[in-house]
Amino acid sequence: MVRRVKVPTRDVFLTADGIATRLAIRELKKAKIDPGPLLAQAGISLLKLGEEPKRVGAESQVRFLEIAAEALGDSALGLHLAQHFDLRECGMLYYVLAASPNLGEAIRNLARYLAVSNEGIRLGVSERKKSTVLAVNYKIPRHTDRLFAEYGYAVVVRACRELADRNISPKAVTFIHGRNTNKAEFDRFYGCPVRFNATADTMIFPTEFLSIPILTSDKHLLQILKDACEEVLAKRGKISSTLRSMVENEIVQLQAI
């Protein structure tokens, strides 16, 4: 008799663009640390000499940042990685933001198309009269993540500052995970108090910031990029659904033996 198998809510096929992974690899190489064994420990396939990974498993990237941070002795590695790389490495998602007319539309587009970059997280945007709240939700285990969450928020703030050419700071930033060190460094970077051990991952901006124009706005390019993002999301959805069905079918067959 074939027993029914409960479909897990966790999706092991979720992938990420691997930018944080590549940045960490570069830091390891600068420190004369071989990234190969650390990549393998995180479940990321070993590469040919000189190659960098493209897309990686979303959970694997989270694990790799934690492993790399320990090897480098840098407990704030995520924040440090986010501050100095060329944001254009974020690819199509960055250019969608850069082509948006203002910060409000850029943030809405980020929420809509974040899965193009990372399928393991979702961004919710709640616009109120005085404050706009960005809240991150995870499709991978949140308790395993500390550094990637810090990396992601810092990248968003950097993007807002660079695209608007203003030293924008949120009103508040909160993280679910705890932190005992480097707290003052986080406050300095964000320009506001950062609270750890919070009940949610949030970043709060004054709603008036949403109307700040983006210097590189291009409505024609934006439409082209949005169409391309929609196509990517549609294709990814089909691929993920097919892979999940194949694995679930195999599990059912094994349970029947």
Q: What is the pLDDT of residues 81-134, one digit of tens each?
A: 999 999 999 999 999 999 999 999 999 999 999 999 999 999 999 999 999 999
DSSP letters for the chain: -PPP-PPPS--TT-EE--HHHHHHHHHHHHTT--HHHHHHHHT-----TT---SSEEHHHHHHHHHHHHHHHT-TTHHHHHHHHS-GGGGTHHHHHHHHSSBHHHHHHHHHHHHHHHBTTEEEEEEE-SSEEEEEEEESS-GGG-SHHHHHHHHHHHHHHHHHHTS----SEEE-SS---S-HHHHHHHHTS-EE-S-SS-EEEEEGGGGGPBPTT--HHHHHHHHHHHHHHHHHHHHHHHHHHHHHHHHHHHHHH-
For range 227-249, the mean pLDDT: 65
For the chain, what percent of residues have pLDDT higher than 90?
81
Please, what is the average pLDDT of the chain? 88
- As given in the structure block, the two tokens for residue 161 are 């500052």
Predicted confidence (pLDDT) at residue 254 exceeds the cutoff of 60? no
Tens digit of each residue's pLDDT (9 = 90 or more) over 42-68: 999 876 656 777 889 999 999 999 999
Query: pLDDT band at residue 13, thresholds of 50, 70 and 90?
Result: confident
Tens digit of each residue's pLDDT (9 = 90 or more) over 18-37: 999 999 999 999 999 999 99
Predicted confidence (pLDDT) at residue 151 exceeds the cutoff of 50? yes
Tell me what pLDDT residue 238 has.
53
For range 168-174, the mean pLDDT: 97
Q: Which pTM value belongs to this model? A: 0.86
Instruction: Judge contact between 126 and 138, C-beta under 8 A.
Output: no
